[in-house]
A and B are shown apart, each in its own frame.
Chain A
Amino acid sequence: EAQVTQNPRYLITVTGKKLTVTCSQNMNHEYMSWYRQDPGLGLRQIYYSMNVEVTDKGDVPEGYKVSRKEKRNFPLILESPSPNQTSLYFCASSLRGRGINEQYFGPGTRLTVT
């Protein structure tokens, strides 16, 4: 089954404790992206990757890191999480970075930072 998977689905952590949210897709997509969803703001892009070893900042990259060492994986790293990073996070992928092609979303990761 073609899908985007994220782990963990739910996470409660404390300020300053490094964490990684994994994202994996099995569709051989070139493009992957991370979004965060906050009430009243919709989804906003954090980072994106056009292909392996090619990443760039989105609209709200502060406090986050990413890497793309393999085509299928695009982990999101929070080196020192803070309460303002409490949010619902989505990973998405699409066949290519350019062009109007549908993005497939993972199930979401609900993160709470206390």
Chain B
Amino acid sequence: AQKITQTQPGMFVQEKEAVTLDCTYDTSDQSYGLFWYKQPSSGEMIFLIYQGSYDEQNATEGRYSLNFQKARKSANLVISASQLGDSAMYFCAMRSLYGNKLVFGAGTILRVKS
């Protein structure tokens, strides 16, 4: 069975600073993908970034980067230069090559302070 663990229920960060949101995963599959989604207070799920299990380089998308450590089974999201609009719930999720669903963590609420 696959499992995603997000150990930080809530985080605060000062505007313009960087923040790391933790995600560890458990799977026996060799081929899988890791995803991060942002959920603002309006409720929609916004895709942020993706990392494949065989990707050698860490994924980056603008201010988002994924710190992928395969041996430790961690896929932490790093947000650089935080903005007030980054305040939201963040979900880590994974999907196996032969799986039929995304498995989600419980989420981390991020609050950016001005």
Chain B residues 45-87 with CB under 8 Å of chain A are 45, 47, 50, 52
Residues of A within 8 A of B100 (CB): 31, 33, 48, 50, 56, 97-98
Given the known interface contacts A50-B100, A100-B31, A105-B45, the answer about A42 and B105 at a Cβ–Cβ threshold of 8 Å is: yes
A90-110 contacts to B, CB under 8 A, are 90, 92, 97-100, 102-105, 107-108, 110
Q: How far is the CA of A102 from the CA of B45 in the complex (A)?
A: 12
Which residue of chain A is the closest to B47 with respect to CB atoms?
A102
Do A42 and B43 contact each other (CB < 8 Å), given the known contacts A48-B101, A98-B98, A102-B50?
A: no
Let me know if A44 is at the binding interface, CB within 8 A.
yes
With a cutoff of 8 Å between Cβ atoms, the chain B residues found around residue A100 in the complex are 31-33, 52, 95-97
A11 at the A/B interface (Cβ < 8 Å)?
no
- For chain A residues 25-74, which have a beta carbon within 8 Å of chain B? 31, 33, 35, 40-45, 48, 50, 56, 58-59
Q: Which of A42, A58, A90 contacts B4 (CB 8 A)?
A: A42
User: Roughly how many angstroms separate A97 CA and B99 CA in the complex, as a whole number?
Assistant: 8
A97–B97 alpha-carbon span in the complex (Å): 10
| A contact residues, total (Cβ < 8 Å) | 28
CA distance A110 to B101 in the complex (A): 21
Query: Once bound together, how far apart are the Cα atoms of A84 and B34, in whole Å?
Result: 30
Residue of B nearest to A44 (CB): B104
A88 in the interface (beta carbon within 8 A): yes
Q: Which residues in chain B, 25-45, are within 8 Å of chain A measured between CB atoms?
A: 31-33, 35, 37, 43-45
The smallest beta-carbon distance between A27 and chain B, in angstroms, is: 14
Residues of A within 8 A of B45 (CB): 90, 105, 108
Given A40-B106, A43-B104, A108-B44, 20 further pairs, Cβ under 8 A:
A31-B100, A35-B104, A42-B106, A43-B93, A43-B102, A45-B102, A48-B101, A58-B101, A59-B101, A98-B97, A98-B100, A100-B31, A100-B97, A103-B102, A104-B47, A105-B44, A105-B45, A105-B47, A107-B43, A107-B44
5 CB contacts below 8 A, A to B, read: A40-B106, A43-B93, A97-B100, A99-B97, A108-B44
